[in-house]
Amino acid sequence: MVKSDDILKGLKSGDRRLLAKAITMLENEQEGYESLLHSLDSNSKTPVIGITGPPGAGKSTLINALVSAYSKNGKSTGIIAIDPTSPFNYGSLLGDRLRMSEHFNDDKVFIRSLATRGSLGGLSAKTIEIADLMKNAGFDQVIIETVGVGQSEVEIAGLADTTVLVLVPESGDEIQTIKSGIMEIADIFVVNKADRDGADIFANNLQALVHEREESGWAIPVLKCSATENSGIKELITKIHEHAPHVNTEKRAWLLTEKAWQLIVKKRMKDVSKEQLQERIKNAMMQDHFNLYAEIKMLAN
């Protein structure tokens, strides 16, 4: 078995095939995966950029444009695309990775799709570990794209140093929902497909809402982009770079606490099989006087 220190040396030297094998090791909890995790530097300065937003907002196209710009400047990028899980075999549908196919042969870009595997929040249970592994693999930045449904927008805020919320002009009808929900987690707002009607009005409305939110030391920007036209990408990269110094000790401690919480929950739930639980519930519900809470109490003890 290859030692974890040797794996890390290989990763830092740019061995992407070894990185793919190491990720598989973590995903499947193969022999030596815990030793590898324990050898990681949790204080790595590699920034993690979270890209989130509703389906159809053009997140993958925006990431394509971002990564192309980074590559042209000689910067390397690791991408984690969180794909919806197939309801039949718990596999990744690989939609995002297919949409990023133009970067497959770019040696400065590494793309890995992760299935949600039934995670309620839309983030794979292994996302934290794999993101930390990629932070130790010599990339200039790591980008995480969520599926953009449910709680994933909020979860990404606990994982990314900088969270970019991508919206489109048509989101204007949902402005109150945005205000009361995922609005709070964005460090940068992007109005994508800004060549569409209503983009200016929507961006101005977002800017007004942003002013209602206090953020110490960071003026939250609302940027207009058109990823397909490659407009606004330089401005977005500039704002992501400018946000980095605002990830201070307090925020880093909060980010690490969020990670620790998720990992502890995962560890304590490790012996709970959803499939076995479903079979047990199916049998129990056939009995007279079935009570779910009593069943849970027996299972939890």
Domain ranges of the chain: 1-39, 41-268, 273-301
pTM (predicted TM-score): 0.84
CATH 3.40.50.300 fits 41-268, yes or no: yes
Residue 63 pLDDT class (50, 70, 90 cuts)? very high
pLDDT at 258 over 60: yes
What's phi and psi for 126, nearest 5 deg? Answer: -95, 0
Residue 50, pLDDT score: 92
Q: How confident is the model at residue 90 (pLDDT cuts 50, 70, 90)?
A: very low
**Residue 93 pLDDT > 50, yes or no?**
no
The average confidence (pLDDT) of the chain is 82
Residues in contact with 221: Cβ distance below 8 Å, sequence separation at least 6, in sequence order: 188, 189, 239
At residue 263 the predicted structure's pLDDT band, cuts being 50, 70 and 90, is confident
What six digits make up the tokens of 273?
A: 């099989």
Predicted confidence (pLDDT) per residue in 126-182, tens digit: 888 999 999 999 999 999 988 665 555 567 777 899 999 999 887 656 565 555 556
Residue 253 to residue 259: CA distance in whole angstroms: 10
Q: What's residue 137's pLDDT?
A: 94
